[in-house]
Amino acid sequence: MTRSAAAEPWWLRGNIAAGQFFFRYRNTLFPLLFGLAALCLRPRVILDRPGLDRGLVIAGMGVAVSGELVRLVTIGYEYIERGGKQGRVYASRLVQGGVYGLTRNPMYVGNGLIAIGVSMVTGAPAAYLVLIPLFLFIYQAIVAAEEAYLHRQFGAEYAAYCARVPRFLPSFRGAGHAFAGMRYHWRRSVRQDLSTITALAMALVLLPFWRRLCLDGWVAARPAWARTATLALAVLAGYGILHRLKKLGRLA
C-alpha cells in the first residue's frame, strides 16, 4: 500500500517539498554554500586552546576522508541509479545490495560526514553553529523526498526494505547476505566519484593554508604557500590523468 500525501502532516509535506527543491539544485547549491562559507566564515582558535583546535582540524580531515571512503565503497559494490531524472528523484529499481543492505542511505551518510569534516577543518565557530546544522537539514530533507518517492514507486517492497534496513546508522546483521556474490569494482567507484574525490582533496589542501592566512596573516602563512600550491597542482594533475583515462574507457 502506498502512502497518501493528503494523510501526511503539513510539516512532513513541507519537508518533502524542501527536499525536492534541494535535490533539484544540489549540484549548484552545495559548491555555492562552501564557497560562501570560505568567503564569509572566519576561523578562530577554538576556546583559545591551540591543542584542541589542531585536534579538531585533524579529526575533521579524518571525518571527511571517512565520508569519501563510504561513498567509494558504496559505489564500488552496487551501482546506484538514484541520481535523479530531469532534476527529480527517480529510480527504476530498488537497490538493496552491497552497502545498501546495511543502511538505506549510505551515500548521504558519506555526504554528511564530508560536510561535517570539511566544516570542522575551517575552524570557524559559525561552521559548527550554522553550516553543519544546515547541511544536516538539507540531507534529511532530500532523504524524506526520496523516501516518499520510493514508497509510491515500490510500495510493499520498499516498506519491507525499510523494516529490515535502518535509515542511517548501519546494521551489520545482514552483511553476509547483502554482499553475497558481489565483488568490488574500484574502477567504477573512481569513475563515478572522480569530481567529489578531487573537490575534497582540493579542500583539504587549501583550507589549512586559508586558516593560517586568516589567523596569522600573510607573513606567517607565506612559508606554506609553495607546499600548498604544489599539492594543489598535484591534485589537479591527478584529476587530469584520471579524467583522460575515463574518457578513453580505461576506467570502464
Q: For 96-123, write each residue's pLDDT tens digit.
A: 999 999 999 999 999 999 999 999 999 8
Q: Is CATH 3.30.1490 correct for 6-184? A: no
Q: What is the mean pLDDT of residues 52-75?
A: 96
Query: Given a cut of 50, is residue 182 above it in pLDDT?
Result: yes
- Give Cα separations from 87 to 18, 23, 109, 148 (angstroms): 14, 7, 21, 16
Q: Give this prediction's pTM.
A: 0.90
Are 24 and 88 spatial neighbours (Cβ–Cβ below 8 Å)? Answer: yes
Cα of first residue to Cα of last residue in the chain, in angstroms, is 39
For the chain, the domains span 6-184, 185-252
Question: Residue 149, by phi and psi: left (phi above 0), alpha (psi -120 to 50) or beta?
Answer: alpha
